[in-house]
Amino acid sequence: MFIKVLTDVNATQFWDLRLKGLRENPEAFGASYEEELNIPINKLILRFKTDFIGPLDDNFILGAFDDNNDLVGMVGLRRGRRAKMKHKAALWGTYVASNLRQTGIGRALIVELLNKAKSIHGLEQISLGVVCSNIQAKGLYASLGFQIYGLEKHALKLGQTYFDEDLMVYFIK
């Protein structure tokens, strides 16, 4: 396995894995499979380049690739754009293919994200939201230094079911 920053060359692989995550774990993401499924690929690639990975130094997605060069895991970082918010970034979109969970890929992705984030001038903290019932993810984040600072009740609604999220933060030293 190797990890690298995704570029527009990886957009199709990214969207395929993202759709898989949205379909398999709908409670873990703000976006829905149905919303994302029918977006034309040219619009997805443009959105990928402008919203998800640009500018490269401040916003990026890391991908974990297997020996066949298949994307099997990902995590993103999005920095605040306004002057008063540039000291903060959000970790988003963490997903590892279900057959490869508990193999260290998620940990490796987040460690690499934290290392890369530490080199971004002026960045002081990284926040995330994680569904309260996702004990494994919360444990992983906590083991890497994230701390719970709040709770968002009914953060997501899937059908008639609500999901609360623990809000976590990592302070860059």
Predicted structure pTM score:
0.89
Please tell me the predicted confidence (pLDDT) of residue 56: 54
pLDDT at 47 over 80: no
Domain map (residue ranges) of the chain: 2-122
What's the rounded mean pLDDT across residues 63-68? 96
Q: Does domain 2-122 have CATH number 3.40.630.30?
A: yes
Indicate the pLDDT class of residue 57, thresholds 50, 70 and 90: low
Give the 3-state secondary structure of 101-150: CCCCHHHHHHHHHHHHHHCCCCCCEEEEEEECCCHHHHHHHHHCCCEEEE
Q: pLDDT tens digits for 83-129? A: 898 899 999 999 999 899 889 999 999 999 999 999 999 999 999 99
Average pLDDT on 7-27 reads 89
What's the rounded Cα separation, in Å, for the pair 156 and 53?
Answer: 25
Contact between 22 and 32 (Cβ < 8 Å): yes
Q: Looking at residues 47-74, what average pLDDT do you find?
A: 84
Q: Taking each helix axis from N to C terminus, what angle separates 135-143 and 105-118, rounded to the nearest 10 degrees?
A: 40
